[in-house]
Structure 1
């Protein structure tokens, strides 16, 4: 017999929630077979069998919160049915001998003397009503007087089904006959018995959604968060993509999107303003000399932020491939903890959903996050005499005002804008 143990899942994860059992008691499993899915704050994990055998017992159910090292089930070499047979036999009460097999008479002095058969246990509830143990237990649980239960048995015995039937019939009678209102008290109609009721659905918040909610609230409560805005003329980037996207796709087998341009622009701005790439640790400021850029991705279970490592050392194609791979893993729920840990700065793109303007919330302990938005044609004054419709995008930088001054944040965002409006300059930011 061996335990199914919740494995260690990383330094920051101490517990999880059983989201789904993939086996049931009595199932035979092989070594390495997936037994259950465990939902944690960051990723979902599959727990596999360490040895072959039969699932003897499931100790924790779906929805239960479990901790690292806890046993959630048992696997044995025998069958579940055989294991339970001994327990059932030990708890089963011996049956009384029947009248057909019990001696009804004995020989006494050569004459047959009638001897009364031993009485059959009545299973009475004390009021003269004969009922099965399961019926008496159910009656006690539901507060039913067995004398009021009409049994279907010819001998007048009451069984569990009779108690269930009686309870349903009694509930129907009670519902059909309204009780008179108490004297002197006005009658107030119950919301459940109004002319119509409004439907609702109650859903339990997933562990990841609860963690996201907690961290977002903590970010707003602990950081001195402020947001500054600017806008980018996307004409040059759209022109580059239009001219280069086919050859880029043919050569690198990945599309040329906007995220590689924004990642490169952010890295260039972070190099000029290193405080935006820092974090606060107690009374210290930790300045990071590397550029691991988090890319916010919307997944089924909620927003996740996988990290593109050493973005300053990657080319456009490598950035696009990394982002595509991380987004695919996020949507298939196969991200690892290594994909999510760390990160020095985050980019989030609400524009893919149609957002024109927003104020992103910090991904703590980071002190800066850039928000991208929808590209919208707007009339722009080219000079004093000319107006043109240009593809414009609002960008927003939320930052921690505790260590980043307003002027520094504004200049950081202006740098991002200038780099994006001159895409060729991004080649120099590697």
Structure 2
């Protein structure tokens, strides 16, 4: 039977690379199907990766600390329990990495790789310093850049895709080979970079790359590098604001009906081991309304609109510090109690760093709840690839005017109420669309069905 490949998994629609954080199994170890064998880290989540089959771990192709493209083979499992490859990790840097990942580009990329054996010191970090992903090597080849000239910001100085793009943008020594190749036409190479910046390249960079401005440090300031979550959050927020023209609408919602249902079902839910929060009611209502408002559950893609069939709710979770948005898939198929359980499960696993790749993929609409910390109303940023996000404010007792349905007379009463905001992509969602959505959401929550 052929060996089973273990690839670097797809961790999200916009994620192209993953880093092997830790091997949980060693060469020659017996593994069971679905047993975790390594930990990986990406822009969106840290996760344990299970074995795709039972057998023996016979080859480890990617060492701890290495970052590789999605789909790159990181290990092999022999279902028949064969012997492990001899010294597989040690031989891989010079012999296996580039040809295995990109055969067609191997001759052109061999110049940077060929220097690795002669300059490769003994430590893992020194070996990593000379290595890069196939994507980076391809970019370097296209621009005539020696990767050794590029300062790497990745693990152990590894050159990342962002590093090579920064190097090119800042006019790194990529122009040096041009005079040797065409000394008589020195003006042509000088004009080529400007001419080669096609509109599509500009927009690809604009929508995919972030460089934060730097500011002077004063005497009493303290400077710390961003941690991974903060850096990625900063990049995602900048890109999201670049992509979508944000507009926000606000509405006030009465929770009297929901309070009555929670009180009536509290004992029953406790017996079932379920906790149904206010957020669960909101999520259930939003999931049901997505089919009435398809533009809210859609996204702009080029000159097209993609209307999502599935209703996948992204639920923002505060990690203090940091933020992550796990996803309730097919939320419109779940009952109120089912959504309540899902919210608790995802939040607990997010805070204990036990989310799986599938838990953070595919959101079509998001909900964030700054109100849990007392905020009256927020204006959230729309995640890329979606058209709207709901922000729920603090639920507080307020003095309001209520009208008696029988007599039409007004009176003063105390009610639990909250301000909800929706941030929407004005390319796709009109102001009237958002107003109708909020009005329907208000109606559902204030007249919540007993059988949800």
Sort the TM-score into its range (normalised by shorter chain): 0.5 to 0.7
CA gap of 1:230–1:22, structure 2 versus 1, over 3 A, is same
Q: Which residue of 1 aligns with 2:266?
A: 245
Contact 2:276 2:341 in 1 (8 A): no
Q: What do residues 128-148 of structure 1 show as CA deviations (whole Å, max 9, x unaligned)?
A: xxxxxxxxxxxxxxxxxxxxx
Query: How much does 1:290 deviate?
Result: 3.0
Tell me, in whole angstroms, the C-alpha distance in 1 between the residues paired with 2:85 and 2:292.
64
Q: 2:227 aligns with which of 201, 205, 208?
A: 205
Query: How much does 1:344 deviate?
Result: 1.8
Calculate the aligned-residue CA RMSD, in Å.
3.9
Q: 1:216 aligns with which of 210, 233, 237?
A: 237
Larger radius of gyration: 1
Contact 2:281 2:445 in 1 (8 A): yes
Normalising by structure 1, report the TM-score: 0.60
Q: Which residue of 2 aligns with 1:393?
A: 418
CA gap of 1:290–1:67, structure 2 versus 1, over 3 A, is closer
Q: Which residue of 2 aligns with 1:125?
A: none
Contact 2:8 2:73 in 1 (8 A): no
Tell me, in whole angstroms, the C-alpha distance in 2 between the residues paired with 1:290 and 1:213.
28
Contact 1:219 1:362 in 2 (8 A): yes
Unaligned runs of 5+ in 1: 80-190
Query: How much does 1:259 deviate?
Result: 2.3
- The DSSP-based 3-state class of the residue aligned with 1:360 is coil
Q: Which residue of 1 aligns with 2:9?
A: 9
Structure 1 position 286 matched with structure 2 position 288: no
Q: Which residue of 2 aligns with 1:356?
A: 376
CA gap of 1:402–1:47, structure 2 versus 1, over 3 A, is closer
Q: What do residues 171-230 of structure 1 show as CA deviations (whole Å, max 9, x unaligned)?
A: xxxxxxxxxxxxxxxxxxxx99x9xx6372523431x43332222111111111100000
Query: How much does 1:67 deviate?
Result: 4.3
Contact 1:6 1:66 in 2 (8 A): no
Q: 2:428 aligns with which of 393, 400, 403?
A: 403
CA gap of 1:388–1:71, structure 2 versus 1, over 3 A, is closer
Tell me, in whole angstroms, the C-alpha distance in 1 between the residues paired with 2:381 and 2:292.
23
Q: 2:398 aligns with which of 372, 378, 394?
A: 378
Q: Which residue of 2 aligns with 1:347?
A: 367
Query: How much does 1:416 deviate?
Result: 0.5
Q: How many residues in Structure 1 have an aligned counterpart in Structure 2?
A: 304
Q: Which residue of 1 aligns with 2:343?
A: 323
Tell me, in whole angstroms, the C-alpha distance in 2 between the residues paired with 1:406 and 1:34.
48
Please, which moves more after superposition, 40-49 or 220-229?
A: 40-49
Contact 1:300 1:331 in 2 (8 A): no
Contact 1:237 1:423 in 2 (8 A): yes
Contact 1:6 1:47 in 2 (8 A): no
Q: Which residue of 2 aligns with 1:42?
A: 44
CA gap of 1:16–1:389, structure 2 versus 1, over 3 A, is same
- Aligned ranges for residues 92-241 of structure 1 at < 5 Å? 198=220, 200=222, 202-206=224-228, 208-241=229-262
Query: How much does 1:300 deviate?
Result: 5.7
Tell me, in whole angstroms, the C-alpha distance in 2 between the residues paired with 1:48 and 1:308.
22
CA gap of 1:60–1:315, structure 2 versus 1, over 3 A, is closer
Q: What do residues 119-163 of structure 1 show as CA deviations (whole Å, max 9, x unaligned)?
A: xxxxxxxxxxxxxxxxxxxxxxxxxxxxxxxxxxxxxxxxxxxxx
Tell me, in whole angstroms, the C-alpha distance in 2 between the residues paired with 1:77 and 1:282.
47
Query: How much does 1:51 deviate?
Result: 5.7
- The DSSP-based 3-state class of the residue aligned with 2:291 is helix
Q: 1:261 aligns with which of 257, 281, 284?
A: 281
Tell me, in whole angstroms, the C-alpha distance in 2 between the residues paired with 1:53 and 1:6.
11
CA gap of 1:281–1:298, structure 2 versus 1, over 3 A, is same
Q: What do residues 228-272 of structure 1 show as CA deviations (whole Å, max 9, x unaligned)?
A: 00011112211221221111221x321121122112221333232
Structure 1 position 332 matched with structure 2 position 357: no
Tell me, in whole angstroms, the C-alpha distance in 1 between the residues paired with 2:281 and 2:58.
54
Normalising by structure 2, report the TM-score: 0.57
Contact 2:285 2:444 in 1 (8 A): yes
- The DSSP-based 3-state class of the residue aligned with 2:344 is helix
Tell me, in whole angstroms, the C-alpha distance in 2 between the residues paired with 1:52 and 1:7.
13
Please, which moves more after superposition, 218-227 or 240-249?
A: 240-249
Tell me, in whole angstroms, the C-alpha distance in 2 between the residues paired with 1:293 and 1:323.
10
Larger helix share, 1 or 2: 2
Q: 1:421 aligns with which of 433, 446, 449?
A: 446
Query: How much does 1:410 deviate?
Result: 0.7
Q: 2:387 aligns with which of 367, 381, 395?
A: 367
